[in-house]
Amino acid sequence: MANKILDKINKPEDLKLLSAEEKELLACEIRSELIDVISKNGGHLAPNMGVVELTIALHSVFNAPVDKLVWDIGHQAYVHKILTGRREFFRTLRKDGGCLGFLSRDESEYDSFGAGHAGTAISAGLGMAVARDRKKGKGKVVAIVGDGSLNCGISFEALNHVAENTKDFIIILNDNKMSISKNVGGLSLYLNRIITHRSYNRFKHFSRTLVEKIPRVGKVITRQIGRLEEATKSILVRGVLFEELGFRYVGPIDGHNIDEMMRTFDGIREFEKPVIVHVITEKGRGYKPAEEAPEKFHGLSCFDPETGEDINGPSTASFSAVFGDSICELADVRSDVTAITAGMRAGTGLSEFSKKYPDRFFDVGIAEEHAIVFAAGMATQGFRPVIAIYSTFLQRALDYVFHDVCLQKLPVIICEDRSGIVEDGATHHGIHDLSFLRNMPNLSILCPADGCELRNMLFTSYERREPVIIRYPRGSSVKKSSVSDPIEGTPWGRALVMSEGGDIAIWASGREAYTALEVSDILSNSGISVMVVNARFMKPFDTGLLLLHAEKMPVATIEDCQIQGGLGSIVDEILVKTNHRGVYHYGWGTDIIPHGTISGIRKKAGFTAEDIAADILKRALPATQIRDPK
C-alpha cells in the first residue's frame, strides 16, 4: 500500500505544509518504512522507532540546513535521512555503495557533523554555535543527545563549557530509558508550557529590565525573584543540575506528542541562554518485538518483520557467543573473575553472565575510559576483571590502557570484539587497534582463529599476571567449544603450524588462518606446496619460527587489519635485516574503507581467497614452480 503522506515529503520544508493529523499518519508510515528496509538490510531499528515523532517535530520547527541539527550517535538518524531527501537512497542501507547507517557530511548537506561514536554532539554543536557567534551569523544549533550518550565523559565536559561561550544553543535530551528518567506528570508539563511560552519570556525580560532600574534595590529584587523561580522548578521539575551549569531546563515532555514538542521547540527559539529540552521517548515504539526487547533490536541483521526472528535461522556460534559461554565457565571455577562492559551487554555476549553472576557484572554505560580505569582499580585489589569491548570503542580509551593498566602491569583482560572490517563503515571498522596497541609495555595481544582457541586463550590469560588483549572478529567462530572439551593451555607466544609445505609459508592472524587454508587449497591445484601458520600471538611474536621459514621460502601474511602496524609490519620488522626469500602482505591499507557487506568490501579490495591465491601465483612464485592444473 502506498505511503500517501510520505510520498509527498522530498525535503524538510514539505513537513511545514502538513496538518497535525497528517503528521501523525506520517509517523506511522515512517515506522512501516523503517521495518521494511531494516528487516531486509539489517540496521539499527529500536533507536529509530523511538525518535520518529521527535524528528518530525524538529524538522517542522527548525530550518535545516541553515539551522544545524547535530545528532549524537548517527544510528538514531535514519528518520532524519528519510525526511531530508534520501528516502529512496535509504532503501540501499548497508548495501555496497548504498546508504551509510551513520551520518556523513559527504552524503548530505543536512548531516552537519559525522557521527558514529557517542558523546560528540554537544562538543561539536557548541563549536558550531561559537563559530556562528564569532561570525555574527544566523541559524540555530540543536544537539540531539540520546541512547545513553549523556553519560559519556566528553558530554559532561562539553556541558560544563557551554554557558561561558554562547547564549544561543539548544540541547535535546532524548531520554529513551537509556539515560535519565520518566515523565513526572501533568504539573511539570503545565509549568513547561508556561516557561517556554513567548509571552511569558518577553514579559519576564521586560519586567526584569524595569525592576533592575529601581535605585539601590533593583538588582537585589531580581536575584530574589530568580531564586524563587528556581526553587519552584527544583520542586516540580527535574533538571537542577543543568540549571546549575547555566542552562534553562525544560521538561520532561512526551517525545511522541508532535504538537507538544513543536510548541516547545518554537517557544525556546527566543531564549537568551542555553537550553536543554528533556524529551521522553520509547525505544522500539510501534513495533512490539522491539518494544519488548529494545536491546536485541538495537542493531541487528535481516529479520522476519512479522515475528521479529532472524531469517537466517540458527548458525555457527559467533565469537561473541563463545566468549560469553567461556567467561561463564571461567567464573564458575574462579570467584575473582568479574565482567565489565560499556553499554554493550548483549552485543559482547555478556547477557548470560549478567544473569548468572549479577554481583560480578558491571555495565558502566557508554564510558569506555571509566571502564578501563575501573577495571584497573579492581585489579589492584585482587580481582581479575575481564572487559568486553568493541575494537572501535576501545580506541576511545587508549590513554587509559597505556597509563593505568600497562604501566602498572595490572592483570586486566580486554576481550576486543568486532576486530576487522564490519558493515557499518569507517567509524566502526576494527582495523586500527594493533597500530595503537603493539608498542604498549607489558601488554600481550592474542588473536584466536576460532571458538576453541578463544576459550583456551581466555583460560590461559587468566593464569598470566599481566595485561592481555584477546582480539576477535564479528560473526562465526567456525568452531565452538563445548563443556566437555578439555581446557588446554595455549603455549604462550607460540604460533601453530596448521599445514606443512615447502614452496611458500602463509602466516595469518585470527580467523584469517582459515582464509589461508582456502588459499592453500587453491594453490595446491597448481602444484604449490603451502605451509599455513596460525600466528596466534601478535605480542609476544614467534620470531624463531618465522626466521626458520623465511630462510627456506617466501612468506605471505594475511590479516583482517591494517598491514601498517599489524602482522605485516611485525614480519617486516623481523626480516628487514635478513636474507629472506621475499615477503608479500594481504590486508588493509591506510585508505578509508567504505561501508557495505563484508563480502562486497573484500571482493572490491581483492581480498578473497581466490584473489590472494591469484596474486601469489603472479607475484610470489617462479613460473617453474607452477603446474598447470589440467
Partner residues linked to 444 by β-bridges: 468
Place of cell 548517527: 74
Residue 334 annotated as catalytic: no
Q: State the DSSP code for 403.
A: I
Q: Are strands 68-71 and 141-146 parallel, antiparallel or unpaired?
A: parallel
Closest CA to 387 of 471, 291, 307: 471
Task: Specify the 3-state DSSP secondary structure of 514.
Answer: helix
Residues 6+ positions from 230 with CB-CB distance below 8 Å: 240, 243
Among the options 23, 238, 285, 396, which is catalytic? 396
Among the options 33, 53, 260, 368, which is catalytic? 368
Q: 10 Å Cβ neighbour count for 154?
A: 19
**Cα distance between residue 543 and residue 487, in whole Å:** 26
Q: What angle do CA 255, 261, 265 make, to 5 degrees?
A: 130
Partner residues linked to 416 by β-bridges: 389, 471
Residue 283 annotated as catalytic: yes
**Cα distance between residue 463 and residue 459, in whole Å:** 7
Task: Specify the 3-state DSSP secondary structure of 143.
Answer: strand
**Cα distance between residue 535 and residue 552, in whole Å:** 18
Among the options 68, 248, 283, 471, which is catalytic? 283
Asked if residue 65 has a cis previous peptide bond (ω within 30° of 0), the answer is: yes
Please give the sequence-ordered ranges of beta strands (E in DSSP) within 13-169, or none if there are none: 68-71, 141-146
Closest CA to 179 of 209, 211, 147, 133: 147
Task: Specify the 3-state DSSP secondary structure of 314.
Answer: coil
Q: State the DSSP code for 307.
A: T
**Length of the chain, please?**
630
- What is the phi-psi region of residue 94: left when phi exceeds 0, alpha when psi lies from -120 to 50, beta otherwise? left
Q: What angle do CA 490, 361, 366 make, to 5 degrees?
A: 100
**Cα distance between residue 78 and residue 344, in whole Å:** 21
**Cα distance between residue 343 and residue 388, in whole Å:** 10
| Cell (9 digits) for 332 | 564458575
H/E stretch holding 504: strand 504-508
Supply the residues annotated as catalytic: 283, 368, 396
